[in-house]
Amino acid sequence: MTDHRIALLSSGHQDFVTGMVDLSVRGLPPGYAGGEFVFTRRGRQNADGTWTAVPEGRSIRYSAIVALGVGALTEQRQRAALAGDSLLDLVGNLVKRLPEVTGAGDAALICWAAAEAGHADLDLALSRLAELDTGAQIYTVEAAWVLAALVAAGVTDGRAERARERLLAGLAGNRLYPHALGKGPLVPRYRAHVGCFADQVYPLQALARLHAATGDAAALRAAEQVAEGICRAQGPQGEWWWHYDARTGSVIEGYPVYSVHQLSMGPMALLDLADAGGTAYVAEISKGLDWMIERPAFVLEELALTWRKEARADPRKLVRGVRAVATGVHQGMRLGVLDRIYPPVAVDRECRPYELGWLLYAWLSTCGQTS
């Protein structure tokens, strides 16, 4: 329960982030029903030009991420965010759903939330994670969540060593992380060299937390490598770009730019690194916040949400696909003409609960010992 991270910022940025934390607490209850969170709240424009947000679907994954974020609040604000429920109510509901969870990533998030909440059934959650984390190939994001969960749970046996080695091996010969680790069919060959922003921040976070917990020097070096790579590639307006060439660290395709990356995921990973004793990228974090501050229409106070992303209006994600193929053939080939044909003019008007959950976790949690 700390705001030491917000205190690193200038007074203007502090006010903005504090306001966004308050918005998140208000914005979570409209997406909470039956002990779990919806998949999204989708914007719908009324005849008078105002907006409403319509809940759609359900998501165990997003519920677990919200549990992590809400856990950083005071108990009173936890209940406010959960429409009167407690954090243990939410985590308990997630643990009960474990038998139907089929992915290691979702199981890892539930373990992580259970560990931080002090839930009595943590061992049950860890057992289910062990059953699911057996494949030769895994998405990078999920591999990072597995390591973060085991660190949070204090697991130090062979499971933790395997998760550590798998994540460290993912950088072998690469500047940044690709989309999947290990050999298998998860990613087509033409885009095997491509890694998205999420593929960087979650391993960075997990490795920083491993170093904070155990003093693992190799984990810190890897985390620093990824942090330096994404910060070096940051856009001129503070954009955290979307697709990278894992081999070189260069940007393959910048768009979409996501509000959750600017407000939450970028700061979260970099602040974990700083808390763990690594480099403090406060200037880059602040620059990323500026991207949101300069787009006030992305923050809807009346609905207590943020619009999801700024994107190109290209059909079937054409630009990112073409650039993935082009850079697979020749490193650095970006086909700049596509920027003129498909400028970033589209706004994705929806808000997913995990975006608000990570915002709380980014700014109110801590990693390791801080002064």
102 and 182 inside one domain = no
User: Does 238 share its domain with 363?
Assistant: no
| Domain co-membership, 320 together with 359 | no
Same domain (yes/no): 273, 232: yes
Residue 124: in which H helix or E strand, if any?
helix 122-132
Q: How many domains does the chain have?
A: 2
Residue 236: inside a domain: yes
Q: Which of 81, 72, 80, 75 is nearest to 364 (CA)?
A: 72
Residues 14 and 122 in one domain: yes
The dihedral sign for the CA sequence 338, 229, 363, 104: positive
Q: Which range marks the domain in which residue 65 is found? A: 1-134+354-370
Residues 6+ apart with CB under 8 A from 48: none
Please give the backbone phi and psi of residue 351, each rounded to the nearest 5 degrees, phi first. Answer: -140, 125
Cβ atoms of 167 and 214 closer than 8 Å: no
| pLDDT at res. 338 | 56
pLDDT of residue 225: 98
CA distance 118 to 91: 10
pLDDT confidence of residue 323 = 52
pLDDT in tens, the chain (371 residues): 348 999 999 999 999 999 999 999 999 999 999 999 999 999 999 999 999 999 999 999 999 999 999 999 999 999 999 999 999 999 999 999 999 999 999 999 999 999 999 999 999 999 999 999 999 999 999 999 999 999 999 999 999 999 999 999 999 999 999 999 999 999 988 889 999 999 999 999 999 999 999 999 999 999 999 999 999 999 999 999 999 999 999 999 989 999 999 999 999 999 999 999 999 999 999 999 999 999 999 999 999 999 999 988 756 665 455 555 556 555 665 545 556 655 666 899 999 999 999 999 999 999 865 43
Give me the pLDDT at residue 189, please.
Answer: 86
Tokens 């992380």, residue located: 177
Q: Is residue 54 included in any domain, yes or no? A: yes
Beta carbons within 10 angstroms of residue 236's beta carbon: 6
In a domain, 284, yes or no: yes
Considering the domain architecture, whether residues 344 and 203 belong to the same structural domain is answered as: yes
93, 180: one domain: no
Look at residue 175 and tell me if it is in a domain: yes
φ/ψ bin of 304: left (φ > 0), alpha (ψ from -120 to 50), beta (otherwise): left
Q: Are residues 228 and 365 in the same domain?
A: no
**Going by C-beta distance under 8 Å and a sequence separation of 6 or more, which residues neighbour residue 11?**
none
| Distance (Å, whole) CA 31 – CA 41 | 7
